[in-house]
A and B are shown apart, each in its own frame.
Chain A
Amino acid sequence: MSGITSYFRNIYEGVTTVLYGMRVTMKYLKSPAITLQYPMEKMVMFERFRGLLHNRAEDCIGCGQCVRACPVDCFTMVIQKAGKDEDLGLTRDGTAKKLHLYQFDIDTLKCMWCNLCTEVCPTECLLMTGEYEVSSYQRDGWHLRFAIEEPPPGFDMEEARLKQNRITNPVTYAGAADPKSLVIPEGSARPLSGAAEFDWMASRQAQVAAKGAKAHEAKPAPEPKPVSESKPAPPESKPAPPEAEPAGE
């Protein structure tokens, strides 16, 4: 007898549980979708978002802490001590610069976006931008150059580069013992928008202001967030020019 009851119970359970499931899917068929139509609508990145690295070279004192903090050695940095009577000026926060910065390159292909370098930066000149559209068809061009000073004639860049850049991690940097691999082919560097002043906070606010920007949790738009402790103070409520979109250059 139990065989027959379980036979019909199987049928009953089969039919009812299918109907339960169909009720759930029907419920969502009627409720609105959560899709963000990506290229047309863009998410507003959070203030702490870890996007493409950017260095404001004029504020960089060349201390090299970022280079030491990087687990994957994606920085290439060449510095030279300034002469006694040379005045290199001040950074934005008033620190006197004492080193010439001839090269400050970030190999984005190696970057693991861990944020360790920006946390140690004393002048907050190295920061992670809100730029996240970093896919491209070729590997070239992702070797970002930030230095604005030219080395004086007679300065051996090649030698300084090899001397000053410690190879800490042979696994991730196995091929780097070959000095040629540090030479960047001419024209491959991908400069960021007007490298000197890249105000990502403003561009982010422009995204907020732009129509169709869909915020997280289906809110219309997030209120400008208070300043975080690890990032420089953004210029609050700066009128965002419409052309401040960072994407696509």
Chain B
Amino acid sequence: MDPAHIAERLKTKFGDAVTEVRLDVPDPHAMIAPAHVAEIGLYLRDDPDLDFKSLMCLSGVDYGDRLGVAYHLHSLTHRHRFCYKADLSREPGAARLPSVVGVWPAADWHEREAYDLVGIVFEGHPDLRRILLPDDWEGHPLRKDYQFPREWHGIPI
């Protein structure tokens, strides 16, 4: 199935949760309201025609004016790919959305990484800790407004 059909099915199934479908870009994708990422993920995984058993990549991004999370899926049985994304506000504390660890266990470390580097909070994640940086690191380095620290525990960088 091509992305257009998949997006169409999502639209009929979830209605307003799919805010936009972009098909004329290099990576066709659907924009999803952040609150619905987990249930849409579950549908994409369990529908026998879609069967997206595999989460290739989950990425957090700071566009400068907003934050985003992108879910890249593929299906080993149907050999098709799909991508859906959610935009989040950059307001402090507003970057929250449901975790998809329950849908794809692969999201576990990816979500921890997105939390660590971009500062997106995944609600319902079983163990949302920093993964790459030390536990006591301040800030999220992949934010565009991140200030490079001058020192760490008294060690000048």
Cβ of A122 under 8 Å from chain B: no
Residues of the B chain whose Cβ atoms lie less than 8 Å from the Cβ of A170: 148
Query: A147 CA to B116 CA in the complex, in Å?
Result: 45
Q: Classify chain B: how many residues form its interface, as a range.
A: under 10
Cβ of A18 under 8 Å from chain B: no
Residues of the A chain whose Cβ atoms lie less than 8 Å from the Cβ of B157: 174-175
Residues of the B chain whose Cβ atoms lie less than 8 Å from the Cβ of A171: 148
Smallest Cβ distance from B78 to chain A, in angstroms?
A: 41
Residues of the A chain whose Cβ atoms lie less than 8 Å from the Cβ of B156: 175
Q: Classify chain A: how many residues form its interface, as a range.
A: under 10
Smallest Cβ distance from A175 to chain B, in angstroms?
A: 7
Smallest Cβ distance from A167 to chain B, in angstroms?
A: 12
Residues of the A chain whose Cβ atoms lie less than 8 Å from the Cβ of B148: 170-171, 174
Interface flags for A172-189 (1: CB within 8 Å of B; 0: not) read 001100000000000000
Smallest Cβ distance from A181 to chain B, in angstroms?
A: 11
Nearest A residue to B141, CB-CB: A171
Residues of B within 8 A of A (CB): 148, 156-157
Q: Which 6 A-B pairs have the closest CB atoms?
A: A174-B148, A174-B157, A170-B148, A175-B157, A175-B156, A171-B148
A–B complex contacts, Cβ < 8 Å, 6 sampled:
A170-B148, A171-B148, A174-B148, A174-B157, A175-B156, A175-B157
